[in-house]
Amino acid sequence: MKRNTILFDLDGTLINTNELIIASFIYTLDKHFPEQYNRESVLPFMGMPLVETMEQFDKEKVSDLVQTYREHNISHHDELVTEFEGVFETVEELYKKGYKLGIVTTKMRNTVEMGLRLVGLDKFFQTVVTLDDVKNAKPDPEPVQKALTLLGSTPEEAIMVGDSKYDILAGQNAGTQTAGVAWTIRGNDYLQQFNPDFMLNEMTDLLDVLGER
């Protein structure tokens, strides 16, 4: 069956929010737990829902931790978020060729929209499934299934593209094909452990996977 539906994670896949996320984590943890955590401490949590992540540090202070993180994240968003090479051109070409395009993310909708507008991708996606729209976040299949339903697609028609194990597992759990991105901050070898169907060295490789070049 021809693949006509592409679902993307956002952070670390379409837009480079890595430094923003790390800076927001370090700021938050330094404020609440001075001198206990560093950059390496937060890398394993990249891609997880924020509340779930903060529960790992202190279940009694989750709401305070989340508030501190979000305030820092929003106030520094535009100065620290950048584009990944080849993303805009690839997404634009898929859009022009009539592919159904969706985003499946563990972020809240307001910051998703900020990121998409910043890099000019907001006009290409027919559906965006955020943490606000589901009961269960990735790696549960619910967000992927919801995006497929909204797009009128089946798992057999779709590829889930992402930079974390949560993206790959969510796609696998929902029955789609999966593509990992080699620019993941955790490293190519780490992501390959989860057996994505494809690994993209750059986003334009997706056009080859789909037979479009």
Q: Which residues have a catalytic role annotated? A: 9
Q: What is the chain's Cα-based Rg?
A: 17
Whether 76 contacts 24, CB under 8 Å: yes
Give the burial string for 174-212 (b: 16+ CB within 10 Å, else e): bebbbbbbebbbbeeeebeebebeebbeebbbbbebbee
Whether 203 contacts 183, CB under 8 Å: no
- Nearest-angstrom CA–CA distance, 81 and 92: 20
